[in-house]
Structure 1
């Protein structure tokens, strides 16, 4: 789970494994595999970093790197 900030300043915690797409224009829109969209203050790079940190904490990043070696 990662916590991001809605445009109104409210934090929202989302399941990082459900992120399908992150689009950045005037605002950043996170599209989940469920079809839900969340508009947030964070930039794409911040969301990617949060997601990578989360994946490391649950051990998925290490597994992905081992498979590619």
Structure 2
């Protein structure tokens, strides 16, 4: 899950595993696999960084359990 910000400054958390694509319109439009979409303040690069960080945290936790 990653935290994003709507245009009205409302923060929300989204399941990043359900993101189908992100478009720039010029804001970022996050389109989910179920067809819903969210227009957010974060840039595409910021969203990508958050998704990568989320998955890195999961991987790191899994590695700790296997030690």
TM bin (shorter chain): 0.7 to 0.9
Give the superposition deviation at 1:57: 1.1
Q: Please give the residue correspondences for 1:33-48 in structure 2 after superposition, counting only pairs within 5 Å.
A: 33-48=33-48
SS in 2 for 1:58: helix
Give the superposition deviation at 1:6: 0.2
Deviant stretches of 4+, over 2 Å: none
Give the superposition deviation at 1:26: 1.7
Give the superposition deviation at 1:27: 1.3
User: How many residue pairs align between the two structures?
Assistant: 59
Q: CA RMSD in A?
A: 0.7
SS in 1 for 2:46: helix
SS in 1 for 2:8: coil
TM-score where L is the length of structure 2: 0.84
TM-score where L is the length of structure 1: 0.82
Q: Which runs of 5+ in 2 are unaligned?
A: 60-67
